Structure 1
Amino acid sequence: MEIGILGGGIAGLSVALALHKQGYSPRIYERRAVPATMGAGVTLWPNASFVLGELGLLQDIEAIGGRPLTMRRQDAAGNALGGLDIGLLDRTMGYPTYTVLRRHLQEVLLDHAARAGIPVEFGRRAVAIELDAHGRAVAHFENGTSICPDLLIGADGRMESVARKFVAGDNRPIYQGFVNWIGVAQGPHALVDDISIQDFWGAGERFGCVAIRPDLVYWAAAQARPLNEATPTAGMHKKEVENLFAQWPEPVSNIIRATPENAIRLIAVHDLEPLHTWSRANVLLVGDAAHAPLPTSGQGACQALEDAWHLARCLDGASGGLEEIFQAFATIRGPKTTRLAEQGRFFARELFATDPETCRIRNERAKASDPVRDVQVLAAGWGQGLPMPGGADSTSAKEGGFSNLYRIE
């Protein structure tokens, strides 16, 4: 079976690697002229590490990633709001958590694709998909070429997905009321005291920083604001974010100062409405093209990796045609990813509340959270559908797999 994949990001590359392990020969078409360097970093929670282990990548990830054992929450004045025992979560789920720069994860995926002989064609921007006379999808590229594989996988992201437009008829992202400045800080000396995740909550503002090493930290600073104010003056990102968080507890200011101006990027944060179907004809959506949660879910990259693992098994186990495969895949993946997207929105609404009383109640609830129960709920929700500890279809999983926790990806 000829398989074409639109998109060479985390979803497209991991799907290609998973399918290659099952004996298929996929080909990737990436719109960018060079490998993507967008984004700061990602936290690969135990469910992602399970998939990376299945793909044979975990040793490479260990070499480039940090191993956080705790997540600490504080308010904007430095008062403790509880946290998460990541070490306990890892032991409960049976796999480690890693923090990595997104570009380093991309390099590992590309390296393994090259080793496997998976072709990755850059500069192939898809502009449209249409059905031919036999009802099979044809993808047309900006350079005038076209492809008509037996299976066309849309892994082309959340913002301009040609595959999603073909499947759903619409792919308009939805602005969720806040912006993120993202950056990577690296200094000659330690920027943080330990390898941990630190999350600071204000009123309509948030700062999260994730250590890979004490001297290498990626971060996201966020503020609630209307969309028409989501694009500040060019070249002013660092000054704006420095001023906004100047009075917040350390290491916030230290991390911002250690970040070059050209390494800071502003994102108006969007997500997508959950779809009722992820396929049309011989086209199937995966990753952000299918389900694009907010960063407050902490699961964007993790769920892209899960898509890869599940799709390979659906293809391997199907006795019928693509319709059967697509239905099996959507039945497995739809409920979990929809729940994660909904929870991400709910958390964002609470996290970026500006009313002082609402923020006080939110903070008190976080402080009162049971840390052991939090781990159990996360393990059940994130492990659901995977053959790993905590992955049973439990009550906690059905509740959403979350507690009073807010994460940055």
Structure 2
Amino acid sequence: MQKKRIAIIGAGVAGMALALLASKQGHEVQVYERAAAHRVMGAGVTLWPNAMFVLAQMGLASDIIRAGGTPKFVCQYDRSGNKQNALDIDELNRLSGHATVTILRRDLIQILGDALSAQGVSIAFATTVTEQDIDKLRQTYDLVVGADGRMHSVVREALFTSPVSPCYQGFINVIGISQLEPGILPNRIGDFRYPGERFGIVAVKQDMCYWAGAWRTPFDKSCNQRDWLGELKQRFGGWAEAVQSVLRHADPGSVRPIFVHDLDPLPYWHKDNMVLIGDAAHASLPTSGQGACQALEDAWLLSCLMSQQHDLSVVLGRFYQLRIEKVTMAQVAGRQLAQQLFSGRREESTAPSGVSLAQLSQIWMQGLSV
């Protein structure tokens, strides 16, 4: 395998995962991050079996499991707490051959960052890469990777002659972390729904959870000073006791609003020796449940292809061909569920309509093999 010099722009899940996998193959890797320290965009993440497959290949599965939780069910409730149906995560895991793990995003980032440090890969924090810098990096490195997020990817701007604008999908997620009272949603993910509104609670440990309250609203850039926790308590007052408990015990410093954007599928992710991965390439809505999972798949497949083929043009073309169908499916699924949730219509399924657990396992494990 020909060793390459790789510059990765962005130290999120996709960027750090690729840096770790590529450095283990012997490539020379430098990561650039505009923030002064690791950023935590989001409260937590559910790592479905496809993500845990990748983390197992990275040698991190046991660390992730120790830091997170292993839910047994996703349960859907109405706003009063009456259970509507459930998805058996244990059975999905058995069919897939890997666990499902819920983890605080800060802990996932910490594990990836520690693994990178142990591998001797440095992250140049507080380093803003401009479009002009991209040209210099392309001359210095064999490969420049844009893992710099959905909203303001400088590599994506350099890749396309016309601006690619993320799409606001008409709803807000207000997220946070809470202490979890005993007996509240043990070993399960709680999905509370009412037409036009949703409150999701994801247990991580017996005494900890992350959550999101969501509703349809116009985009408002000037709203950051609002009392979001107070607004949540008012909007979701009278909902199930689990929701009330979580809001009572919320860490105020963890509460933040996200006006949710995604990307339309892109016609390509690469040009010459530049390539996009993760949210910069195919940001999906949180309703897809696959954002971090697909970012990890990107990193794994790109590193695999580089180990098998010297010609980067072949690698990058093949990477897009192998990934575009699956990530587009996640994007479409996320939009469809969001439309069902926030249009005021009722939706009674926790999985895509008519999809069995076996089919769901096949969908998410598609394209993954050692």
TM-score, normalised by the number of residues in structure 2:
0.94
Query: CA–CA distance in 2 between the matches of 1:22 and 1:53?
Result: 16
The residue type paired with residue 111 of structure 1 is D
Q: Would the alpha carbon gap of residues 265 and 366 (structure 1) be closer, same or farther in structure 2, given more than 3 Å must change?
A: closer
Question: Cα offset for 1:21?
Answer: 2.0
2:333 alignment partner, SS class: helix
- The structure 2 residue matched to 1:265, chosen from 256, 260, 265, is 256
Cα pair 1:168 1:275 within 8 Å, conserved: no
Q: Which residue of 2 aligns with 1:310?
A: 301
Q: Would the alpha carbon gap of residues 96 and 259 (structure 1) be closer, same or farther in structure 2, given more than 3 Å must change?
A: same
- The structure 1 residue matched to 2:357, chosen from 375, 381, 386, is 375
Query: CA–CA distance in 1 between the matches of 2:283 and 2:353?
Result: 28
Q: Which residue of 2 aligns with 1:117?
A: 120
1:277 aligns with 2:268: yes
- The structure 2 residue matched to 1:288, chosen from 279, 287, 290, is 279
Q: Would the alpha carbon gap of residues 327 and 233 (structure 1) be closer, same or farther in structure 2, given more than 3 Å must change?
A: closer
The structure 1 segments of at least 4 consecutive aligned residues displaced by more than 4 Å after TM superposition are 365-370
Q: Which residue of 1 aligns with 2:177?
A: 184
Q: Which residue of 2 aligns with 1:334?
A: 324
Give the structure, 1 or 2, with the largest relative contact order (CA under 8 Å, sep 6 or more). Answer: 2
- Structure 1: 5+ residue runs without aligned partners? 132-136, 140-145, 389-409
1:159 aligns with 2:180: no
Q: Would the alpha carbon gap of residues 348 and 265 (structure 1) be closer, same or farther in structure 2, given more than 3 Å must change?
A: same
The residue type paired with residue 100 of structure 1 is I
- The structure 2 residue matched to 1:39, chosen from 38, 42, 62, is 42
Q: Which residue of 1 aligns with 2:7?
A: 4
Question: Cα offset for 1:75?
Answer: 1.4
Query: CA–CA distance in 2 between the matches of 1:232 and 1:324?
Result: 46
1:98 aligns with 2:101: yes
1:50 aligns with 2:53: yes
Q: Which residue of 2 aligns with 1:400?
A: none
Cα pair 1:93 1:383 within 8 Å, conserved: yes
The residue type paired with residue 185 of structure 1 is S
Equivalent residues in 2 for 1:367-406, closer than 5 Å: 374-387=356-369
Query: CA–CA distance in 2 between the matches of 1:26 and 1:213?
Result: 35
Instruction: Tell me the alpha carbon deviations over residues 264-286 of structure 1, each in whole angstroms, 9 at most, x when there is no partner.
Output: 00010000111110011210100
RMSD, aligned α-carbons: 2.0
Cα pair 2:185 2:203 within 8 Å, conserved: no
Query: CA–CA distance in 1 between the matches of 2:167 and 2:125?
Result: 28
Query: CA–CA distance in 1 between the matches of 2:351 and 2:31?
Result: 46
Cα pair 2:185 2:242 within 8 Å, conserved: no
Question: Cα offset for 1:213?
Answer: 1.3
Query: CA–CA distance in 2 between the matches of 1:337 and 1:168?
Result: 20
- The structure 2 residue matched to 1:204, chosen from 185, 196, 204, is 196
The residue type paired with residue 171 of structure 1 is V
Q: What is the identity percentage for the equivalent residue pairs of Structure 1 and Structure 2?
A: 40
Query: CA–CA distance in 1 between the matches of 2:240 and 2:61?
Result: 35
1:126 alignment partner, SS class: coil
Instruction: Tell me the alpha carbon deviations over residues 230-268 of structure 1, each in whole angstroms, 9 at most, x when there is no partner.
Output: 754614101001100011112001101111322200010
TM-score, normalised by the number of residues in structure 1:
0.85
1:138 alignment partner, SS class: helix
The residue type paired with residue 109 of structure 1 is L
1:247 aligns with 2:229: no
Q: Would the alpha carbon gap of residues 120 and 197 (structure 1) be closer, same or farther in structure 2, given more than 3 Å must change?
A: same
Q: Which residue of 1 aligns with 2:92?
A: 89
Query: CA–CA distance in 2 between the matches of 1:10 and 1:283?
Result: 19
Cα pair 1:2 1:26 within 8 Å, conserved: yes
Cα pair 1:159 1:171 within 8 Å, conserved: no
Q: Which residue of 2 aligns with 1:401?
A: none
Q: Which residue of 1 aligns with 2:165?
A: 172
Instruction: Tell me the alpha carbon deviations over residues 366-397 of structure 1, each in whole angstroms, 9 at most, x when there is no partner.
Output: 69977xx5311210110010128xxxxxxxxx
Cα pair 1:161 1:171 within 8 Å, conserved: no
- The structure 1 residue matched to 2:28, chosen from 2, 25, 40, is 25
- Structure 2: 5+ residue runs without aligned partners? none
Instruction: Tell me the alpha carbon deviations over residues 165-188 of structure 1, each in whole angstroms, 9 at most, x when there is no partner.
Output: 11123231110010000000025x
Instruction: Tell me the alpha carbon deviations over residues 293-328 of structure 1, each in whole angstroms, 9 at most, x when there is no partner.
Output: 000100000001001110011111114x21111111
Q: Which residue of 2 aligns with 1:71?
A: 74
Query: CA–CA distance in 2 between the matches of 1:107 and 1:119?
Result: 14
Instruction: Tell me the alpha carbon deviations over residues 36-77 of structure 1, each in whole angstroms, 9 at most, x when there is no partner.
Output: 123100000000000000000011111101010111001123
Q: Which residue of 2 aligns with 1:391?
A: none
Query: CA–CA distance in 2 between the matches of 1:215 and 1:275?
Result: 41
The residue type paired with residue 7 of structure 1 is G
Q: Which residue of 2 aligns with 1:221?
A: 213
Q: Would the alpha carbon gap of residues 47 and 233 (structure 1) be closer, same or farther in structure 2, given more than 3 Å must change?
A: closer
